[in-house]
Amino acid sequence: GIALLIKLKNTDSLFKNERLREIVNEVCKDLVQILEKDETYLRLGIVEYQTGEYKSVDPTISKYRDRVVDVIIASTSIPLAFPPVRMNKKKEYQYFDGGVMNMTPFKDIFDITRQPDFQKKYNLESIYAVLCSPISNRESHQYYKGLFDIASRTLDILCKEIYLNDKEVFDRTNAFVWFRDEIEKKFPDKKEELEKIYKQILKETDIDIKKYFTSTCKVIAPDPEKWKDFLESDLYPDGPQESMKKGDNSEKLFWRQFPSTLTKDPKKLMAAYHFGMFMAREILKPKKQP
């Protein structure tokens, strides 16, 4: 027990990610050029632990062009699970996954897509938020006694609440922007008074409603009710993981077979990956004509 405590004290993570870095190095070697050529907008969220500051990184700007792999790895480095990333040898700053502070980065999306110039160019109306975890909590009859199980269950519950809170902020921002549009139509000659209202909203909510356009937001998350359809689809890998039990429905199967936040089961992780592809196909496939 003492040896384990000493080991935990002297390590910065449970797992290592050298193999991931090798893959990212290979796959993303031309990423900046591709982003610029295709006019694709990408932001990577990281947290600087020494300052506690959240950074939304554009990998195409000069400061980060030569550190793209470092930024990507940092954006995947969940604290405790994976080690931090150092990007500046002169400063011993450590960088972790931006989800520590900003799990669903709606503000980052707003700052790109809701600006007037972007709106004029692309006329974007909808934003899709793709979540890796379901936004519904299962009722669990398991008794949690190990630290790992308790931590995993805690993260499952915590992530769901953060997702919902982030979505609420998105909806509130949309509501304020809609309010701005409507009130300016009704009172076009009250610009000075409206400016005071906008400043007060900014002061109270940190939302600058003058610089945004409204949009709809569609949240895409693993849906337990779709799991059985996925099991019967061509995307399900390696066949069923376990035999069906009497009374099993899609939701029960989902919670037994879908990985929890800290799971290391490769079959469950691969199934979750393919389930994401299944959900995307269901959402993006052409609608049948009546």
Q: Which DSSP symbol is given to 210? A: G
Amino acid found at 120: K
- Do both 225 and 142 map to the same domain? yes
Number of helices (H), then strands (E), in the chain: 11, 5
Q: What is the pLDDT along the chain (290 residues), one digit of tens a residue?
A: 565 555 556 677 778 888 889 999 998 989 999 988 887 888 899 999 889 999 999 999 988 998 999 999 999 998 878 888 988 766 788 999 988 888 778 778 777 777 667 777 777 777 777 777 777 666 665 677 777 778 777 877 887 888 788 888 778 888 888 888 899 999 999 999 999 999 998 898 888 888 777 767 777 788 888 888 888 888 887 655 556 677 778 888 888 888 876 677 888 888 888 888 888 787 776 655 55
d(CA 134, CA 131): 7
Backbone angles phi, psi at 134, to 5 degrees: -65, 150
- Do both 179 and 280 map to the same domain? no
- Do both 229 and 113 map to the same domain? yes
Domain boundaries, position 49: 1-100
- Do both 189 and 200 map to the same domain? yes
Backbone angles phi, psi at 238, to 5 degrees: 65, 15
- Do both 40 and 153 map to the same domain? no
- Do both 226 and 248 map to the same domain? no
Number of structural domains in the chain = 3
Last residue of a domain, one of 235, 259, 277: 235
- Do both 79 and 174 map to the same domain? no
- Do both 62 and 89 map to the same domain? yes
Sheet holding 44-48, edge to edge: 53-57, 44-48, 95-97
Last residue of a domain, one of 70, 100, 130: 100
Last residue of a domain, one of 220, 235, 250: 235
d(CA 10, CA 210): 49
- Do both 275 and 216 map to the same domain? no
Provide the pairing of β-strand 216-220 with 126-130: parallel
- Do both 217 and 267 map to the same domain? no
Q: Could you count the other beta carbons within 10 Å of the beta carbon of residue 177?
A: 20
- Do both 156 and 214 map to the same domain? yes
Contacts with 91 (C-beta within 8 Å, 6 or more apart), sequence order? 50
- Do both 112 and 224 map to the same domain? yes
